[in-house]
Amino acid sequence: MDRLDVRQTVYQVIMVTVVAVVVGAVASLAAIAFVEAVLLMNDYLLVSPYARIQAEDRHLLVVAATIAVPASGGLIVGLIVRWFVRERRALAPPDVILAAQTQRSGPGFRSGLASTLAALVSLGSGASVGQYGPLVYLGAMFGNLAGHLKLKLRHQRSIAIACGVAAAIATAFNAPIAGLVFAHEVILRHYSLRAFAPVTVASATGYIIANVIFDRPALFLVSFGHVEHSYEFVFFALEGVLSAGLACGFMWLLRASTTAAGRFPVPQWLKPASAGLVLGLVALWIPEVLGIGQETLRFATIEGAFGIGELALIIIAKLVLTALCIGFGFVGGVFSPALLVGILFGAFYGLVLPYLLPLPYSGLEVYAICGMMALASSVIGAPLTTILIVFELTRSYDLTIAAMVAVVFSNLISYRVIGRSLFDLQLRARGFDLSLGRDKAILETHPVRDYCSQAYTTAYLDEDLGTVRQRLVDDDRAEAMVLTREGKFRGVVRLQKLVDGRADAPLDAMIVAGATQFGDDTTVWQSMEMLRGFLGEAVPLIGGDGRLIGVVPEEAVIRAYLEIVHDLREEENEAA
């Protein structure tokens, strides 16, 4: 390695480390500020259980706040999204995945800030949505800013986005390894040392800021010894299967709610308020449906905190109201509700099981944690992340193995029923399908018009055969693009068919029937599919107005495929 290469390597190592530390620190501080702001609003607006208990002597105030706060919050959210978010919808992890997987610019910083503010209002006013989705997008937003700096680092943008996401998750869960794996498992969809090293630094930075500097509390605390009976692993596996069914039902409810919201006859900006009103009315009866539900989550692992009937009621209400809030326009994630519903279902399963099979068990905690991680992993498509969250938060090897069994069986079922995750379903609805691999998905984002050429021979419809034949001979080409004098495309003629024709014969009779054509929006992947059985020099590229834009040689499509796939493999396998 010569001196120039050494300097370049040193520069890249230093700069990528600086980017990782800065993005990790900013994302972590932003995540802490976001969470603290939500908690403050929950206390001030009488959403949190603690605030409601403190105000229990003012019953009418609590009732009024329970109804008015979610509805008013929904109205504010609707107006923010309507006026300040260019996409007119909540920005979420699917947008982060799309930004990391493609070269698309993604939503602007203004839209990102407005969406984050809408998420803050949603969570602060008690909407039944999650905080981790907005935190992921918040971290990615700062990573995206760093990705646009002119630092001459390869794959800078996708790596910086992953750094922001990893730091946000590490901060939220006090789990740096889970943050690292989440960024690779859900956002990047690959592992390489070039990305692994800076994302690890960013995740560790987030953890240090959250756990060492600010001493943030853990999501939950569980004291668990060990799994006492080997037959319980069969029950963990069964719990995973049942959790997969519940996860599929949850995702079906989310899609059904979105569809219903589209048909609901009120302006878009009023729909979150409508959902907030319904949420508030239900919360008068079941207050556990309000907000993130961290207190409910922590109580779920305590024996006797909830009865079987209470758990069933809260599970159903939380599933329906979360789907309602997200479908009708509140801004927030699904990870927190999935964790809450999962732990409640796990507790329900642990309480019901002794009645079905009167055998000794290892306690409620293990079943509650298994249910939480099995359901959440199926929803977000991150089995390794959820397993690591259990290990990092509990430091219990036995509990982690039990959760791993439930997570594996849950993902085996849910993957075959609905796909990898809710995020992939949402991306598929936007025309970005990752189910067949990154190659196809990326190729579908590259328009074939980028490989258009102007090197072609033109023939006009009113010209005779002899004139066009001579022009092809002079140009040393085997085919010509036939146009009208107004520039409209009419077809392709090939020299092979013109050789034996009369010189004065009309040209239109020689046009090849059913010749392959590309449209202005044809992607590289679609062009490859369309070239099956193609015979010719190049494919005409036609604009929406019917005019010829240019031609795409067959060689250019092959070259485009090879270049894009080469870049993907390089990104996935580079060591430094």
Q: Tell me, what DSSP letter sits at residue 464? A: B
The answer to whether 183 touches 162, Cβ cutoff 8 Å, is yes
Whole-prediction pTM value?
0.85
Sign of CA dihedral 69, 75, 78, 79: negative
The answer to whether 406 touches 239, Cβ cutoff 8 Å, is yes
Looking at residue 304, its pLDDT comes to: 86
**pLDDT digits 0-9 by tens, 397-433:** 899 999 999 999 999 999 998 888 888 888 888 877 7
Strands 538-542 and 518-519: parallel
Q: What's the per-residue H, E or C state across 526-563?
A: HHHHHCCCCCCCEEEEECCCCEEEEEEEHHHHHHHHHH
Query: Helices marked H in 208-331 — which ranges?
Result: 232-263, 271-283, 294-299, 308-327
The answer to whether 134 touches 333, Cβ cutoff 8 Å, is yes
Query: Helices marked H in 185-231 — which ranges?
Result: 193-207
Give the mean model confidence (pLDDT) for residues 542-568.
87
Looking at residue 525, its pLDDT comes to: 87
Looking at residue 356, its pLDDT comes to: 92
Q: Which residues contact 407 (CB under 8 A, 6 or more apart)?
A: 240, 370, 373, 374, 377, 383, 386, 387
Looking at residue 98, its pLDDT comes to: 85
Q: Cβ of 6: how many Cβ atoms within 10 Å?
A: 10
Looking at residue 532, its pLDDT comes to: 83
Share of the chain above pLDDT 90, in %: 55
pLDDT at 103 over 70: no
Q: Which residues contact 452 (CB under 8 A, 6 or more apart)?
A: 541, 549, 550, 551, 552
Sign of CA dihedral 322, 327, 331, 334: positive
Six-digit token string for 168: 């946000």
What is the three-class DSSP state of 1? coil
What mean pLDDT is reported for the chain?
A: 89
The answer to whether 298 touches 369, Cβ cutoff 8 Å, is no
Looking at residue 211, its pLDDT comes to: 87
Looking at residue 569, its pLDDT comes to: 73
Q: How many residues does the chain have?
A: 576
Give the mean model confidence (pLDDT) for residues 202-213.
93
Hey, what amino acid is at 487?
G
**pLDDT digits 0-9 by tens, 423-434:** 888 888 887 777
Domains and CATH numbers, the chain: 3-213 (1.10.3080.10), 232-435 (1.10.3080.10), 443-564 (3.10.580.10)
Quote the CA–CA distance of 110 and 88 in Å, as a whole number. 13
More confident position, 573 or 256? 256
Quote the CA–CA distance of 253 and 327 in Å, as a whole number. 9
In order of 285, 328, 337, 344, the CA distances from 323 in angstroms are: 19, 8, 10, 17
pLDDT-based confidence at residue 498 (cuts at 50, 70, 90): confident
Q: What is the dihedral of CA 378, 245, 339, 40, to 10 degrees?
A: 110
The answer to whether 332 touches 34, Cβ cutoff 8 Å, is no
The DSSP H or E segment spanning 411 is helix 397-418
Share of the chain above pLDDT 70, in %: 96
Quote the CA–CA distance of 369 and 402 in Å, as a whole number. 9
Looking at residue 331, its pLDDT comes to: 96
pLDDT at 437 over 60: yes
Q: Which residues contact 242 (CB under 8 A, 6 or more apart)?
A: 345, 349
Nearest alpha-carbon partner for 315 in 275, 355, 371: 371
Q: Which residues contact 143 (CB under 8 A, 6 or more apart)?
A: 23, 27, 157, 160, 161, 162, 163, 164, 165
pLDDT-based confidence at residue 178 (cuts at 50, 70, 90): very high
Nearest alpha-carbon partner for 209 in 309, 108, 139, 312: 139
Phi, psi dihedrals of residue 518, rounded to the nearest 5°: -105, 145
The answer to whether 127 touches 151, Cβ cutoff 8 Å, is no
**pLDDT digits 0-9 by tens, 305-356:** 899 999 999 999 999 999 999 999 999 999 999 999 999 999 999 999 999 9
Looking at residue 573, its pLDDT comes to: 66
More confident position, 169 or 544? 169
